[in-house]
């Protein structure tokens, strides 16, 4: 056994560990006993899980396109108008009559020179009288600033939110941890986290003693629409597939994702 050198006072390490514990607590999924979930999109990268409350005509805002639009295509085929946003591509990888593409990105603060606009600004592009749109956002780490800078009033216009959360292995960093905590606490004030899946292009990191997926796909639904219950679900589920189909999926059989009888408290 190789012993680690002592590089900081004990109380500093414990305080950081407590901070990581409290940030992870905000990623505790809940079950929805009155609802079922469905997979939207192809197996592999680009597919996500939603609560089966979809209605034709319900608009979708999809930020971060890249090479895969299977999620967006499936929703367009179901009769959803899909607004796609990505300023890093020259064209969509696949077209559909239900798609409208904007060569623009999303950010916490607008930067027109870089083709970046706030989520609130982008929502002005929704069809008139749009109600309860669906938000999908996979923007390679920009999600944290977007979530912290967007008002809860704007966020509550969405019915469901699907996100890819990046860089969670950096939770030991106090500044980043604070950003994550504010983003997730804001979401949790109005939305219920109902599905989680680790992206297996990343790995499970050790963060202050806690196993943490580098990248996590999450599904939220507005809390006033559902009756949540403590999770009895082990992730991944049969609805999930590895993002890389050549590698095994990553089990989330640990805190805060695994079903537990009693909610844990920090022990020190």
Q: Is residue 211 part of a domain?
A: yes
What does the pLDDT average to over 172-187?
A: 98
| pLDDT bucket at 2, cuts 50 / 70 / 90 | confident
Instruction: Provide mean pLDDT across the span 72-98.
Output: 96
In a domain, 241, yes or no: yes
Q: Is the pLDDT of residue 184 over 80?
A: yes
- Report the chain's C-alpha Rg in angstroms: 19
* Rounded distance between C-alpha atoms, residue 73 and residue 76, angstroms: 5
43-83 confidence digits (pLDDT tens): 999 999 999 999 999 999 999 998 999 999 999 999 999 99
State if pTM tops 0.85.
yes
Q: Is the pLDDT of residue 118 over 80?
A: yes
Does some domain include residue 206? Answer: yes
Q: Cα separation of 72 and 94, whole Å?
A: 10
Query: In angstroms, rounded to a whole number, what is the distance separating the alpha carbons of residues 226 and 224?
Result: 6
In a domain? residue 147: no
Q: 245 lies in a domain?
A: yes
Is there a domain that residue 126 lies in?
Answer: no
Give the model confidence (pLDDT) of 135-160 as tens digits.
999 999 999 999 999 999 999 999 99
Domain count, the chain: 1
Q: Is residue 114 part of a domain?
A: no
Residue 108: Cβ within 10 Å count: 19
For tokens 């606490």, name the residue. 185
pLDDT at 35 (0 to 100): 98
What average pLDDT does the segment 217-238 reach? 98
d(CA 170, CA 89): 28
| Within-domain flag for 151 | no
Confidence band for 267, pLDDT divided at 50, 70 and 90: confident
Which residues, in sequence order, are CB contacts of 104 under 8 Å at separation 6+? 85, 87, 115, 116, 117, 122
Under 8 Å CB-to-CB from 95, ≥6 apart: which residues? Answer: none
CA distance 110 to 254: 38
Can you give the residue range of the structural domain that contains 218?
1-33+164-258
| pLDDT class of 245 with cuts at 50, 70, 90 | very high
Q: At what angle do helices 174-188 and 10-25 cross, to 10 degrees?
A: 30
Phi/psi of residue 235, each to 5°? -105, 140
Q: Phi and psi of 151, rounded to 5°?
A: -65, 150
Residue 249 has, within 13 A of its CA and on its CB side, a CA count of 21
């Amino acid at each position: 056994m190789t012993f680690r050198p002592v590089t900081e006072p004990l109380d500093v390490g414990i305080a950081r560990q407590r901070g990581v514990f409290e940030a992870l607590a905000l990623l505790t999924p809940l079950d929805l006993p009155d609802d079922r979930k469905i997979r939207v999109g192809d197996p592999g990268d680009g597919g996500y899980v939603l609560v089966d409350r979809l209605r034709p005509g319900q608009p979708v805002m999809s930020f971060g396109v890249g090479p895969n639009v299977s999620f967006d295509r499936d929703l367009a085929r179901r009769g959803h108008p899909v607004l796609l946003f990505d300023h890093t591509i020259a064209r969509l990888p696949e077209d559909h009559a239900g798609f409208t593409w904007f060569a623009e990105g999303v950010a916490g603060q607008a930067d027109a020179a870089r083709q970046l606009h706030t989520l609130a600004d982008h929502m002005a592009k929704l069809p008139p009288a749009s109600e309860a749109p669906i938000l999908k956002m996979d923007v390679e780490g920009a999600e944290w600033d977007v979530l912290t800078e967007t008002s809860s009033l704007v966020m509550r216009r969405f019915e469901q939110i699907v996100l890819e959360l990046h860089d969670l292995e950096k939770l030991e960093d106090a500044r980043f941890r604070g950003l994550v905590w504010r983003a997730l606490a804001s979401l949790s004030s109005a939305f219920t986290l109902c599905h989680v899946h680790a992206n297996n292009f990343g790995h499970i990191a050790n963060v202050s003693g806690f196993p943490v997926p580098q990248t996590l796909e999450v599904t939220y639904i507005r809390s006033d629409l559902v009756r949540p219950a403590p999770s009895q679900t082990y992730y991944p589920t049969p609805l999930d597939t590895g993002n890389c189909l050549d590698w095994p999926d990553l089990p989330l059989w640990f805190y805060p994702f695994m079903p537990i009888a009693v909610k844990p408290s920090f022990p020190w």
